[in-house]
Amino acid sequence: MNFRKLVQWFWDFAGAVSVRTKILGIVLGFILLLGAGVTLQARYALTATLTAQLEEQSISISRDLAARAADPILLNDLLSLHDLLDETLANNPNVRYAFLVDKNGQVIAHTFGDGFPLGLLSLNSAAPDEHHHTALIQTDEGLVWDTAVPILGGKIGTARIGLSDASMQAALSTLTAQLLLTIVLVSAAGVLVAVFLTWILTRPILGLVAATQAVAKGDFTPRVPRWADDEIGDLADAFNAMTEELAHTEELRRERESLRRQLMEKVIATQEDERRRIARELHDSTSQNLTSLIVGLRMMEAQCANCASITKAADLRAVASHTLEEVHDLSMRLRPRVLDDLGLAAALERLAHEWQARYKIPVDVVIQLNERLPGEIETALYRIVQEALTNIARHAQAKSASILIEKHGDAVRAIVEDDGVGFDPSAQRGERHLGLLGMRERAELLGGTLTIESAPERGASVFIEIPLAPQPATLDLRP
């Protein structure tokens, strides 16, 4: 329900703005959407490329450091090792730190001026048989690609460096800023183009609106110029042709109005003559017949002690009672009053009660409705269930039947089942299937569906679903 309200609010809002605003919104929205897509795609592609480059750079620097550190480690030349680490940092601006570890896991040399962080040792390591091992470490300055490379197969130690992604983030920020600036410039140009286009498009439309307002007031003289050789120009020609035809029609209408006034005078005179004749007929004929009937009734009252008259009165009462029952049954078949007064639930319960009493077939009725349905839906469901019960009584040879009516979401569902002999729903002949066709047409006229499931000796089930909101009907009337 909230989604429908949101959609309705959007359409109300969109319909309240002018055509110029709509065109500007479409152009600007398209530019912004395209710019956002290009920006995200470019950032994604650049991130993937720079990430691969950082990983390759980290491996290359680490392996170079491991190869160059082998001899100083073997010679226990700590000064050369420190110089090697400083040179590595100086030649590679992205390197955050570098250090060397001996085969026992002790730090030989490092680039941390304030002391080596002991927790860093456990964050990454490389097995002797590994080419390298890289781990991502989150720091206060961002991500660091920590790569460990065994020196001489790990026999004399391990070389590790930390490569910062600051350069990658800076490149991404620069690219994003450039793309956003491009989007702003393109948006400004797009708005200017859209303003020009909307002026071209709406100027002839505004002329048509003014001319249409004049025509609505009864002035058929305005004509609009053909602005261009496009659809709007064709619309202007069509409008001018329409106003000319309306002017001609107005002249004919005035002539016909005069003729109609004369005809109405004659019709009124004829009606008065007919009313006068009917009044005279009622007075001279119907009143005399009613008077004769009253006199006859008085004579029967005077002879009520006569046995023959009493027997005749009893026969008349029996005929009247039988006629009353037939009239009542006919009235129920034509339109049950309880359906209008109390609703579908009460009408179906009464229908099931009378049907069960007439055909001696038990029927179970379950109706789960918290409120009245629209009148046309109640009538359709009542007629469909009525026809289904008639088919059960005539053809199914059933021992029991059931009716279920429930509201499901924005639709109402009905199921009518029986345990009779069943039939083949694919067959399209016979009186029974003419009734089924009428049931299906009633459902489809309200945008609903009717499905029949049945098989010989398996009973039959009729499933009906009708939306509570109006839906267009799609009937297949081909033979």
Which CATH number do you get for residue 415? 3.30.565.10
* Band (327; pLDDT cuts 50, 70, 90): very low
What is the 8-class DSSP label of residue 372? P
- Does residue 47 sit in the same domain as residue 128? yes
Pick the last residue of a domain from 285, 316, 334: 334
Q: Which of 45-54, 316-325, 447-456 has the lowest mean pLDDT?
A: 316-325
Does residue 279 carry a pLDDT above 70? no
Between CA 195 and CA 200, with CA 196 as vertex, the angle to 5 degrees is 115
**Identity at 218, one-letter amino acid code:** G
- Does residue 24 sit in the same domain as residue 58? yes
pLDDT of residue 44: 86
Q: Closest by alpha carbon to 453, among 429, 413, 424, 421?
A: 424
Pick the last residue of a domain from 204, 219, 234: 219
Give per-residue pLDDT as tens, 175-220. Answer: 888 888 888 888 888 788 877 877 777 777 777 777 888 877 777 7
Query: What's the CA gap between 123 and 107, in Å, rounded?
Result: 14
pLDDT of residue 470: 56
Helix (H, G, I), strand (E, B) or coil at 429: coil
Enumerate residues 6+ apart whose C-beta is below 8 A from 14: 22
Could you tell me if 479 and 424 are in contact, meaning their C-beta atoms sit under 8 angstroms apart? no
Query: What's the CA gap between 244 and 415, in Å, rounded?
Result: 59
Query: What's the CA gap between 248 and 254, in Å, rounded?
Result: 10
Q: Which residue has the higher pLDDT, 30 or 461?
A: 461
Please report where in the chains the tokens 């305005």 appear, as a residue. Answer: 222
Tokens of 465: 């679903």
pLDDT > 90: percent of the chain? 7
Q: Which residue has the higher pLDDT, 109 or 323?
A: 109
CA–centroid distance for 422 within its chain: 38
Helix (H, G, I), strand (E, B) or coil at 381: helix
Query: What's the CA gap between 84 and 105, in Å, rounded?
Result: 20
Query: What's the CA gap between 369 and 347, in Å, rounded?
Result: 13
- Does residue 401 sit in the same domain as residue 369? yes
Could you tell me if 364 and 370 are in contact, meaning their C-beta atoms sit under 8 angstroms apart? no
pLDDT of residue 127: 84
172 assigned to some structural domain: yes
Query: What's the CA gap between 106 and 109, in Å, rounded?
Result: 9
- Does residue 59 sit in the same domain as residue 205? yes
- Does residue 433 sit in the same domain as residue 323? no
For the sheet containing 401-408, what is the strand order? 363-368, 401-408, 411-418, 460-467, 449-454
- Does residue 325 sit in the same domain as residue 391? no
Full residue range of the structural domain in which residue 103 is found = 18-219
149 assigned to some structural domain: yes
326 assigned to some structural domain: yes
- Does residue 312 sit in the same domain as residue 443? no
Tokens of 351: 């229908």
Cβ-count burial 427-444 (b if 16+ within 10 Å, e if not): eeeeebbebbeebbebbb
CA–centroid distance for 143 within its chain: 45
Pick the last residue of a domain from 195, 219, 243: 219
249 assigned to some structural domain: no
pLDDT of residue 303: 60
Helix 344-359 to helix 375-391 angle (10° resolution) is 10
- Does residue 325 sit in the same domain as residue 368? no
User: How many domains, the chain?
Assistant: 3
276 assigned to some structural domain: no
CA–centroid distance for 30 within its chain: 24
- Does residue 307 sit in the same domain as residue 372? no
Instruction: Mark out the alpha helices in 75-104 (DSSP H runs).
Output: 78-91
- Does residue 212 sit in the same domain as residue 351? no
**Identity at 467, one-letter amino acid code:** P
- Does residue 350 sit in the same domain as residue 430? yes
Instruction: Mark out the alpha helices in 217-366 (DSSP H runs).
Output: 231-281, 287-302, 307-334, 337-341, 344-359
Query: What's the CA gap between 240 and 18, in Å, rounded?
Result: 25
Could you tell me if 162 and 61 are in contact, meaning their C-beta atoms sit under 8 angstroms apart? no
Q: Which helix (H) or strand (E) holds 393?
A: none
Could you tell me if 86 and 155 are in contact, meaning their C-beta atoms sit under 8 angstroms apart? no
pTM of the entire structure?
Answer: 0.40
Arithmetic mean of pLDDT over the chain: 76
Does residue 284 carry a pLDDT above 70? no
243 assigned to some structural domain: no
For the domain that residue 151 is a member of, what is the CATH number? 3.30.450.20
Please report where in the chains the tokens 């109405």 appear, as a residue. Answer: 264
Please report where in the chains the tokens 């190869």 appear, as a residue. Answer: 67
- Does residue 374 sit in the same domain as residue 317? no
256 assigned to some structural domain: no
Tokens of 3: 């989604």
405 assigned to some structural domain: yes
What is the 8-class DSSP label of residue 132? -
Query: What's the CA gap between 478 and 107, in Å, rounded?
Result: 91
Could you tell me if 397 and 360 are in contact, meaning their C-beta atoms sit under 8 angstroms apart? no
